[in-house]
Amino acid sequence: MLYQYLHTANAKELVGKNRLIFRVLEIIPGLAAWATLLGMVLASWLAPIGAAIFIILFDLYWLVKTIYLSVHLRGNWKRITHNLKIDWRERVDKLKWDHVWQVVILPFYKELFEISDGLLASVAGADWPKDRMIIVLAHEERVGEGARDISKKLRDKYKNIFPHILETEHPANFPGEIPGKGSNAAWAGRKTKEYIDSLKIPYENILVSSFDIDTQVPKQYFLVTTYHFLTVEDPIHTSYQPVPLYHNNIWEAPAFSRVVANSGSFWQMMQQERPERLATFSSHSMSFKALVEVDFWQKNMVSEDSRIFWQGLLRYKGGYKSQPLSYPVYMDANVGRNLWETIKNVYKQQRRWAWGAENFSYTVFGFIKIPEISLRKKLYFTMIMFEGLWSWATNAILMFFLGWLPLALGGEIFNSTILAFNLPRATRLIMTFAMIGIVTSILISTSLLPPPPEKTPKRKSIYMIVQWLLMPAILIIFGSIPALDAQTRLMLGRYMGFWVTPKFRKSAEIENRSEAVPIAKV
């Protein structure tokens, strides 16, 4: 029997006991975060000695975690640089691959023609037989003639390169949907299925990629996904996850936006080294057969890019995984028309990503309902999801803001103790050692940078290093606060809609990153 709650978005869609269980699960992440932060304030006032000991132990935990993650980051950096130098055509040619097709779904909204054209240009330049590739231009009816014109212009430009190029128009105000990438991609996927059926291509021979419209793929991307598809165990029940590098406009982005973008890339790189934790994110690829069997991307919630992994995990009763590619796709850093717009856009984007907390209630509810999934797997995924959400919302605030509260609230008796005297010294020493994380970030981020555009001032290369001094503030402003915002909204049942990140570049010309290769040594 198929799992009947596979496309449940939130507690409002359920009734009775199921609604109560789902609602409690929605409350847990936000409640845990606020309990931690408020508990720390109360403990600093009522039990300052215990609070001070907790702070020191927490800082030690953060130091160990920083070293652990830095090792993974460097390991994946080495893996990416190695993979970018491999001749994947040679590897694939040793396998039977003439039956494999690639479907590329490109949902877009109001983005400029140049943005979409940059993606299609990179796909056109990719090493893959174009007669075994289906391009799907998925636009929105609610945008009107502007989107239709861009779709037609793209089709006219590339129809002689791609024999199979489709246009789909996602209807506005469709019942049971929220406007967004997920509903658009799902509509496009179903229309593509009709076209595939007319060609009589077996679903198990097809890899489908859903790309954010600002994505640019390296020349060998489709060969890389195909190689893994043909060599991985159980390829149908596997997603294939690249590393997003936000390099398309990185030299145009303000310093704080660059740090946020690089931090997002680094987190994905760390996750690639821990494949048992890896879920899908943003641009990704998967088997078309699996996509059909999970009934396409979910169309009534926000974080469809990560949800598709959890759909697979529940649909196949724990028998689904993500395969790290350790291979990049290139995307846009968040840039607005001015500094204030960029600040707002970065915050909203981070809050939308943090809204992935909705996957916790969805997945744990599924674990409760599906006895065939092993208890060990249920506990493992529940704990890593909970710890990730809790850390995102609380850790930066605990480290850089609340660590001094026992001194401020502990009173004269506590402040006269040796512990109070040594607290700032101990935390400062531990945080100094934890700077290894920032040093690693500086070295790797500079090694991955594409060459600067012409006429870029030399001082900007220095800014690319100095910018990392902003990290403590950025971890709070664009890390913990939007995560706490999202989790609080979920806790209160104020469900978010899909916010489309505006794509803006100061230059209309889009530099193709398909041949970019990191060269520095770390």
pLDDT in tens, 253-267: 999 999 999 999 999
As a whole number, mean pLDDT of residues 333-354 equals 94
Average pLDDT of every residue of the chain = 93
Q: What are phi and psi of 505, to 5 degrees?
A: -125, 140
Whether pLDDT at 511 is above 80: no
Does the pLDDT of residue 516 top 50, yes or no?
Answer: no
Both structure tokens of 435: 């700077």
Q: Which two tokens stand for residue 491?
A: 């806790």
Query: pLDDT, tens digit, for every residue of 107-121?
Result: 999 888 999 999 999
Those residues with Cβ within 8 angstroms of residue 203's Cβ, 6 or more apart along the chain or in another chain = 196, 287, 288, 289, 292
Does 497 have pLDDT greater than 90? no
Q: What is the rounded average pLDDT of the residues 48-71?
A: 94
Lowest-confidence pick of 98-102, 406-410, 453-457, 499-503: 499-503
Please report the pLDDT score of residue 173 as a whole number.
86
101 and 226 in contact (C-beta within 8 Å)? no
- Confidence band (pLDDT; 50, 70, 90) for 11? very high
pLDDT above 70: percentage of residues in the chain: 96
Q: What is the pLDDT of residue 522?
A: 43
DSSP string, 314-357: HHTTT--EEEEEEEEEE-PPP--SSHHHHHHHHHHHHHHHHGGG
pLDDT at residue 433, as a whole number: 86
Q: What confidence category does residue 509 fall into, taking pLDDT thresholds of 50, 70 and 90? A: very low
Confidence of residue 432 (pLDDT cuts 50, 70, 90): confident
Q: How many helices (H) and strands (E) are present in the chain, helices listed first?
A: 20, 7
Supply 110's token pair.
């109001």
pLDDT in tens, 161-183: 999 999 999 999 888 888 889 99
> Mean per-residue pLDDT for 60-67?
93
Contact 301, 360 (CB under 8 A): no
pLDDT at residue 2, as a whole number = 67
Q: pLDDT of 187-229, one tens digit each?
A: 999 999 999 999 999 999 999 999 999 999 999 999 999 999 9
Helix (H, G, I), strand (E, B) or coil at 248: coil
Domains by residue range for the chain, with CATH: 1-423+483-521 (3.90.550.10)
Strands 206-210 vs 101-107: parallel, antiparallel or unpaired = parallel
Residue 500 has pLDDT above 90, yes or no: no
The encoded tokens of residue 417 equal 């103790």
Query: What's the average model confidence in pLDDT over 425-452?
Result: 88
pLDDT beyond 60 at 512: no
Mean pLDDT of 311-326: 97
Contacting residues for 455 by C-beta, under 8 A, at least 6 apart: none
375 vs 500 pLDDT, higher one: 375
* pLDDT at position 510 over 60: no
What's the CA gap between 475 and 66, in Å, rounded? 14
Between 404 and 107, where is the model more confident? 107
Q: What is the pLDDT of residue 507?
A: 58
pTM of the model: 0.93
